[in-house]
Structure 1
Amino acid sequence: MFGLACGGCSRRSAVGVIAAGAVGVMSGGLAGCAARAGEAGEVVLYSSVDDFVLREVVEAFEAQTQITVRLLGDTEATKTTGLIERLIAERDEPRADVWWSSEPFGTIRLAAMGLFEPMGIEPPAVVNPSLAGRIDAADGLWFGFGLRARVLGVRQGRFADAEVPRRLRELTAERFRGRVGLARPRFGTTRGHMAAIVATHGEAVLREWLLGMVANGVRVYEGNSIVVRAIAESEIDIGLTDTDDVWAAQRNGWPVEAVFEAVDAAGETPAPLAGGGGGLPSSGPMLIPNTVARVRGGPNAEQARRLIEFLLAGPAEAIMAASDSHNLPARLPTEHESFPDLSAFAVPDGWLPDLVAVAEADETAMRVCDAVLGGG
């Protein structure tokens, strides 16, 4: 198991150290990009990362290198998926140079389709031994960094401590009827989470759990941040979401807390759900790294290399960790001067599934989700 406790590693703000004096301004679109793609000093980035994190990282990169970043982002409702479709459509005449995703599974599928090429760099080593060799592609086509985790968002004060659900299978209990929500699994990290259940526990376990959730009145929303808002507004009490969405809610003063899924004890057998059969085992809070890759045939190879090095070499992870997202660094040493205090954002017993196996289970998981929850 992977623990990310960081007590005692307080450092001065990464944004102050890395991004102070940044003067670059992030370009908001790709207008004129085809005509200018060959010019020196620019790089085209496709990214599903939240805008407030992107802005800080891009501004720091532009200030350090004087390279202009031309960005195409995505909406939360179609996180990553819309960009994947665009990258596939442009494969014969690529416009993008760098792919930076807030999750690994779409990246893995694109790599399997031949849309990426070797980056020609040796990334900094992963500092936590539990991650070594597990967040990078074996063939070097993509690398992972800056992790988040899946989490239960819970309305503050709604439950006594002993009543707080600690495992996903508990959410099918009658006492939570109509009070649980999740984002539509067609998009974003919920999609990867459902595929991880299939890859780890099997198709039948996911189907049974989702049937139990539907029977218990689960509410389906259009994104993780909307799930968190529903908790804050007392529309629901519990929601499946990501750590960064909970941290953002707390920054806004919303009454939402993070509850990390507990790991089943060795030999523990989940109790059967109402529909019969074994319940959903609990492996702990699922870890989700960001991923970066170089687009095959992209027009600005040298600038792409420099941006990828920046994302992996420490400054970007320091900015992400100090941002409201509080991503947990994978490559930045804790003794580095820009490493922020992350003790309040530690992820206990983090679970990193086989990322490639999860990507391969995606189609099966979506078939199950569509059948049980409905498409759309």
Structure 2
Amino acid sequence: MVGVGFALVFAMLVGGCIRRAENQVTIYAAADREFASPILDGFERQNAGVEVLRQFDVEASKTLGLVSRIEGEASQPKCDCFWNNEILHTLRLQKQGLLQARKWKIPDAWPKSFRAADGSWVGIAARGRVLLVNKTKLPDREAWPSSVLELADPKWKSRCGIAYPMYGTTATHMAVLASHASKILPPVGVVGPEKSTSGVWSWEQWIAGVRDNAVVLAGNKQVAIAVGQGDLDWCLTDTDDAIGEVESGKPVEIVFPDQGAGGIGTLFIPNTIAVINRAPHPVAAGLLADHLVSETVEGRLVMGNGAHFPLWPDAKEQSRASPNAPVRWAEVDFQLAADGWESLSVELPKIFSSAP
């Protein structure tokens, strides 16, 4: 295998200028440290002489803290590569012109919803937004929730849970629901008392119902643990946190929501990889980015503790969180969701003002 040192020198020469050796590359990673660190260690082993400087997110601010740093450093970037564990804020960075358009080493058959048309980012290794049900608390399967929309149903008051919706995949999920409300929300009376004279729920009515009924905890892991412990009957969470409770022996089961007639399908949110525009170490950043979107790395994420869902066409490994029956993935416009985030980010804290 040609060493990374030769590759870097060659790239500098053909580029028409001489740069100092790129023996470092900085990544801002919102992906969980337990998943990301072994993969970044592997890149260092394969590319002797290149050190990956890692800046992980702070649990309290999730992805938002790293995104704010990238925005604040726009005039003089310090980050080379961004590994986001969701998509919403990656799209916001793209819209601001902070991500570099590039040619990715992925098949032409890559799902269009999970790659940028301009080449500024690629999605890999998705997580499903699922319901986790405590089978001891709800022994009758016929009584189990089957839709995310049931978070607003008064019959589940104080019995269902959701992560604080300002951060992470829950923020992305709420942005999708808000931006697609006219297509997703049910007629009045389907998930609660009639509240709308128009015959359908508005987004404002539905999210107010969620606030009134659901227990709001700090994160997806916390609500999954609460279900596993029997503190809640069910929750909305990610597949990685849900499978953790299943595999720890808790009396729980994963439900892929909104699969029935008229349902939108289960929302899957990918990790996203991008190179920062005007990155300090552009060649090393490109090498790292291509490594992260490789079939081998995605396979590790699929087979790892997070049981991610692959996006590589005809992937060899499949998530062990997959049910026996096929799952219909929701087809949504993530860009539309991202475009509405600025106003939604003002609205949500007011609605959930008493949440942790």
The interval holding the TM-score normalised by the smaller chain is 0.7 to 0.9
- What one-letter code is carried by the residue in structure 1 that aligns with 2:42? A
Taking structure 1 as reference, are residues 64 and 106 closer, same or farther at Cα in structure 2, changes over 3 Å only?
same
Query: Residue 156 of structure 1 is aligned with which of 129, 135, 142?
Result: 135
1:372 is displaced (CA, Å) by 2.3
Maintained 8 Å contact 1:146/1:289: yes
Distance 1:39 1:251 in 2: 46
Q: C-alpha offsets along residues 3-41 of structure 1, whole Å, 9 cap, x if unaligned?
A: xxxxxxxxxxxxxxxxxxxxxxxxxxxxxxxxxx96532
1:181 is displaced (CA, Å) by 1.2
- What one-letter code is carried by the residue in structure 1 that aligns with 2:222? I
Maintained 8 Å contact 1:145/1:317: yes
1:368 is displaced (CA, Å) by 3.6
Q: How does 1:222-233 map to 2 (within 5 A)?
A: 222-233=218-229
Q: C-alpha offsets along residues 277-301 of structure 1, whole Å, 9 cap, x if unaligned?
A: xxxxx41210101111111121111
Distance 2:319 2:100 in 1: 34
Query: Residue 257 of structure 2 is aligned with which of 258, 261, 281?
Result: 261
Q: C-alpha offsets along residues 226-258 of structure 1, whole Å, 9 cap, x if unaligned?
A: 111111222211111111111122233333321
Match of 1:276 in 2: none
Q: C-alpha offsets along residues 120-170 of structure 1, whole Å, 9 cap, x if unaligned?
A: x3331265xxx6222111111111111111111211332111000001233
Maintained 8 Å contact 1:135/1:355: no
Q: How does 1:60-209 map to 2 (within 5 A)?
A: 60-66=42-48, 67-119=50-102, 121-125=103-107, 127=109, 132-159=111-138, 160-202=140-182, 205-209=202-206
Match of 2:36 in 1: 54
Query: 1:210 and 2:192 equivalent?
Result: no
**SS state of the match for residue 296, structure 1?**
coil
Distance 2:236 2:153 in 1: 15
Number of matched residues?
A: 316
1:193 is displaced (CA, Å) by 0.6
Query: Residue 340 of structure 1 is aligned with which of 303, 312, 317?
Result: 317
Identity, % of aligned positions: 28
Unpaired runs of 5+ residues, structure 2, are 1-18, 186-200
Maintained 8 Å contact 1:251/1:324: no
TM-score, normalised relative to structure 1 = 0.78
- What one-letter code is carried by the residue in structure 1 that aligns with 2:35? V
Distance 1:57 1:352 in 2: 30
1:51 is displaced (CA, Å) by 1.1
Distance 1:65 1:247 in 2: 33
- What one-letter code is carried by the residue in structure 2 that aligns with 1:79? K
Distance 2:104 2:210 in 1: 45
Distance 1:59 1:258 in 2: 32
Maintained 8 Å contact 2:148/2:258: no
Taking structure 1 as reference, are residues 333 and 61 closer, same or farther at Cα in structure 2, changes over 3 Å only?
farther
Maintained 8 Å contact 2:307/2:321: no
Distance 1:144 1:265 in 2: 28
Unpaired runs of 5+ residues, structure 1, are 1-36, 267-281
Query: 1:356 and 2:335 equivalent?
Result: yes
1:343 is displaced (CA, Å) by 5.3
**SS state of the match for residue 237, structure 2?**
strand
Maintained 8 Å contact 1:49/1:102: yes
- Give the structure, 1 or 2, with the largest relative contact order (CA under 8 Å, sep 6 or more): 1
1:327 is displaced (CA, Å) by 1.1
- What one-letter code is carried by the residue in structure 2 that aligns with 1:263? Q
Taking structure 1 as reference, are residues 164 and 111 closer, same or farther at Cα in structure 2, changes over 3 Å only?
same
**SS state of the match for residue 76, structure 1?**
coil
Maintained 8 Å contact 1:97/1:298: yes
Question: Comparing 172-181 with 135-144, which one deviates more in the overlay?
Answer: 172-181
Taking structure 1 as reference, are residues 112 and 38 closer, same or farther at Cα in structure 2, changes over 3 Å only?
farther
RMSD: 2.2
Distance 1:238 1:189 in 2: 18
Query: 1:236 and 2:226 equivalent?
Result: no
**SS state of the match for residue 60, structure 2?**
helix
